Amino acid sequence: MAHNLLFTAPELLLTVASLVLLLMAAWLGDRSGWLLTWLGVLALIGAALLVPAVRDEGGTAFGGLFIADRFAAFAKILVFLGAAVAMLMAKSWFARDKDYRAEYPVLILFSSIGMGMMVSAGDLLTLYVGLELQSLSAYVLASFQRFDNRSAEAGLKYFVLGALASGLLLYGITLLYGFTGTTLFEGVAAGLGDGISQGELFGLVFVLAGIAFKVSAVPFHMWTPDVYEGAPTPVTAFFASAPKVAAMALLTRVAIEGMGPATEEWRQIVIFSALASTVLGGVAAIGQRNIKRLLAYSSINNVGFALIGLAAGTREGAASVLFYMAVYLVMTLGTFLVVLRMRDGEGKAVESIDSLSGLSRTRPGLALAMATFMFSLAGIPPLMGFWPKFYVFQAAVQADLAWLAAIGIATSVIGAFYYIKIVKILYADDPAPAYERQREWVGAGLLVATALIVSPVGFFLLTGPLHTLATNAASSLF
Amino acid sequence: MNALGFPVLSLLLALPLLGAAICLFASGPAARWTALLTTFACLGLGILLWTSYQVGGPQWQFVEGPIDLGPFDWALGIDGIALMLIMLTLFLMPICIAASWASIEHRIPEYMACFLLMETLMIGVFAAQDLFLFYVFFEAGLIPMYLIIGIWGGKERIYAAYKFFLYTLLGSLLMLVAMLWMVNHAGTTSIPVLMATDFPAEAQTWLWLAFFASFAVKMPMWPVHTWLPDAHVQAPTAGSVILAGVLLKMGGYGFVRFSLPMFPEASAELVWLIYGLSMVAVVYTSLVALVQRDMKKLIAYSSVAHMAFVTIGLFAFNRQGIEGALVVMLSHGLVSGALFMCVGVIYDRLHTREIDRYGGLANNMPAYAVLLMLFTMAAVGLPATSGFVGEFLALLGAYAANSWVAFVATTGIILGAAYMLWLYWRVAYGTSRNADAAAMPDLDKRELASLGAIAAVVLWMGVYPESFMAPMRSDVGLLLARIERAAPPGDANLRRGPAPAPASEHPPAGGGH
Q: Which residues on A lie below 8 Å from B166 (Cβ)?
A: 413, 416-417
DSSP H or E segment with residue B74: strand B73-78
- Among B71, B147, B210, the residue with its CB nearest the CB of A390 is B71
Eight-class DSSP state of A67? E
Name the region of B187 (left: φ>0; alpha: ψ -120 to 50; beta: rest): left
DSSP H or E segment with residue B111: helix B108-127
- Measuring CA to CA, which residue among B18, B25, B71, B40 is closest to residue B450? B40
Check if A382 contacts B (Cβ < 8 Å).
Answer: yes
Q: Is the pLDDT of residue B433 over 80?
A: no
CB B268 within 8 A of CB B290: no
Q: What is the mean pLDDT of residues B233-261?
A: 88
CA distance B474 to B335: 26
Q: Which amino acid is at A429?
A: D
B60-92 CB burial, b ≥16 within 10 A, e <16:
bbbbbbbeebbbbbbbbbbbbbbbbbbbbbbbb
Q: What is the pTM of this model?
A: 0.89
CB A407 within 8 A of CB A275: yes
CB B139 within 8 A of CB B79: no
Contact flag B180-A413 (C-beta cutoff 8 Å): no
Q: Higher model confidence: residue A390 or residue A99? A: A390
CA distance A224 to A164: 14
- Measuring CA to CA, which residue among B280, B297, B130, B150 is closest to residue B216? B280
Q: Report the half-sphere exposure of A282 (CA within 13 A, side-chain side).
A: 21
Contact flag A398-B184 (C-beta cutoff 8 Å): yes
CA distance A362 to A189: 57
The percent of residues above 70 in pLDDT, for chain B, comes to 96
Tell me the longest C-alpha to C-alpha distance in chain B. 89
Q: Is the pLDDT of residue B445 over 50?
A: yes
Taking residue B191's Cβ as centre, other Cβ atoms within 10 Å add up to 20
CA distance A300 to A279: 9
- Asked whether the CA dihedral A119, A122, A124, A130 is positive or negative, the reply is negative
CA distance A448 to A145: 28
Interface of A with B in 331-360 (CB under 8 A): 360
Helix, strand or coil, per DSSP, at residue A290: strand
Helix, strand or coil, per DSSP, at residue A324: helix
Task: Give the chain B residue nearest A361 (alpha carbons).
Answer: B107
Q: Which residues on A lie below 8 Å from B177 (Cβ)?
A: 393, 397, 402, 405-406, 409
CA distance A154 to A225: 10
Q: What is the DSSP string of B151-212?
A: HHS-TTHHHHHHHHHHHHHHHHHHHHHHHHHHHHHHS--BHHHHHT----HHHHHHHHHHHH
> In angstroms, what separates the C-alpha of A309 from chain B's closest C-alpha?
14
pLDDT band for A82, please (50, 70, 90 cuts).
very high
- Interface mutation target, options B177, B179, B185, B199, chain A, most CBs of A under 10 Å: B177
Q: What is the mean pLDDT of residues A236-256?
A: 92
pLDDT band for A250, please (50, 70, 90 cuts).
very high
Q: Is the pLDDT of residue A155 over 50?
A: yes
Summarised one tens digit per residue, pLDDT across range A398-423 is 888 888 888 888 888 888 888 988 98
Question: A64: exposed, middle or buried (C-beta count within 10 Å: 0-12, 13-18, 19+)?
Answer: middle
CA angle A149, A150, A152 (to 5 degrees): 65
CA distance B329 to B358: 30
Q: What is the mean pLDDT of residues A365-382?
A: 90
Summarised one tens digit per residue, pLDDT across range B329-370 is 999 999 999 999 988 888 888 888 888 888 778 888 888 889
Q: Is the pLDDT of residue B313 over 50?
A: yes
Q: What is the mean pLDDT of residues B394-406?
A: 87
Q: Is the pLDDT of residue A328 over 60?
A: yes
CA distance B277 to B283: 10
Q: Is the pLDDT of residue A185 over 50?
A: yes
**Where would I find the beta strands (DSSP E) of A319-411?**
none
Mean pLDDT of chain B: 86
Eight-class DSSP state of B256? I
CA distance A313 to A322: 13
CA distance B356 to B213: 37
Contacts of B167 (CB under 8 A, 6+ apart): B217, B224, B227
Residues comprising chain A, all counted: 478
> What was the pLDDT predicted at B184?
86
Contact flag B147-A382 (C-beta cutoff 8 Å): no
Q: Which amino acid is at B244?
A: A
The percent of residues above 90 in pLDDT, for chain A, comes to 48
- Interface mutation target, options B120, B158, B165, chain A, most CBs of A under 10 Å: B165
Find the DSSP H helices in B219-294: 227-234, 237-242, 248-254, 260-262, 264-269, 271-290
The percent of residues above 90 in pLDDT, for chain B, comes to 14
- Among B69, B143, B176, the residue with its CB nearest the CB of A375 is B143
Summarised one tens digit per residue, pLDDT across range B65-102 is 788 887 888 888 888 899 999 999 999 999 988 888 88
Q: Is the pLDDT of residue A94 over 60?
A: yes
Q: Is the pLDDT of residue B214 over 80?
A: yes
**Where would I find the beta strands (DSSP E) of A27-72?**
59-61, 66-68
CA distances from A251 to A179, A202, A318, A325, B62 (A): 21, 17, 10, 12, 49
Interface of A with B in 385-404 (CB under 8 A): 386-387, 390-391, 393-394, 397-398, 402
Interface of A with B in 404-433 (CB under 8 A): 405-406, 409-410, 412-413, 416-417, 420-421, 423-424, 427-428
CA distance B119 to B127: 12
Check if A139 contacts B (Cβ < 8 Å).
Answer: no
Q: How far apart are the first and last CA of chain A?
A: 26
B→A interface, C-beta within 8 Å: 68-71, 107, 110, 132, 135-136, 139-140, 142-143, 146-147, 150-151, 157-158, 161-162, 165-166, 169-170, 173-174, 176-177, 180-181, 184, 210
Q: Is the pLDDT of residue B434 over 60?
A: yes
Contact flag B162-A417 (C-beta cutoff 8 Å): yes
Mean pLDDT of chain A: 89
Q: Write down the ipTM of this complex.
A: 0.87
> What was the pLDDT predicted at B510?
54
> What was the pLDDT predicted at B505?
64
Q: Which residues on B lie below 8 Å from A397 (Cβ)?
A: 177, 180-181, 184
Taking residue B108's Cβ as centre, other Cβ atoms within 10 Å add up to 21
- Measuring CA to CA, which residue among B472, B320, B464 is closest to residue B386? B464
Q: Which residues on A lie below 8 Å from B135 (Cβ)?
A: 381
Task: Give the chain B residue nearest A423 (alpha carbons).
Answer: B147
CA distance A453 to A369: 11
> In angstroms, what separates the C-alpha of A427 from chain B's closest C-alpha?
7
> What was the pLDDT predicted at B1?
46
- Among A409, A427, A465, the residue with its CB nearest the CB of B151 is A427
Whether the upstream peptide bond of residue A382 has omega within 30° of 0, thus cis, is yes
> In angstroms, what separates the C-alpha of B289 from chain A's closest C-alpha?
30
Three-class SS of A116-176: HHHHHECEHHHHHHHHHHHHHHHHHHHCCCCCCHHHHHHHHHHHHHHHHHHHHHHHHHHHH
Contact flag B166-A417 (C-beta cutoff 8 Å): yes
Taking residue B16's Cβ as centre, other Cβ atoms within 10 Å add up to 27
Q: How far apart are the first and last CA of chain B?
A: 66
CA distance B239 to B241: 5
Find the DSSP H helices in A254-290: 263-286
Contacts of A273 (CB under 8 A, 6+ apart): A212, A217, A218, A219, A304, A307
Helix, strand or coil, per DSSP, at residue B66: strand
Contact flag B139-A405 (C-beta cutoff 8 Å): no
| Helices and strands in chain B: count of H runs, count of E runs | 24, 2
Contact flag A405-B180 (C-beta cutoff 8 Å): yes
Pairing mode, strands A59-61 and A66-68: antiparallel
Contact flag A394-B146 (C-beta cutoff 8 Å): no
- Among B68, B71, B170, the residue with its CB nearest the CB of A413 is B170
Taking residue B24's Cβ as centre, other Cβ atoms within 10 Å add up to 17
CA distance B79 to B63: 10
Q: What is the mean pLDDT of residues A321-331?
A: 93
Q: What is the mean pLDDT of residues A86-100?
A: 83
Q: What interhelical angle do A124-142 and A198-215 show, nearest 10?
A: 30
CA distance A67 to A48: 16
Q: What interhelical angle do A263-286 and A402-427 show, nearest 10?
A: 20
Pairing mode, strands B73-78 and B61-68: antiparallel
Contact flag A381-B135 (C-beta cutoff 8 Å): yes
Q: Which residues on A lie below 8 Å from B69 (Cβ)?
A: 460-461, 463-464
A103-142 CB burial, b ≥16 within 10 A, e <16:
bbbbbbbbbbbbbbbbbbbbbbebbbbbbbbbbbbbbbbb
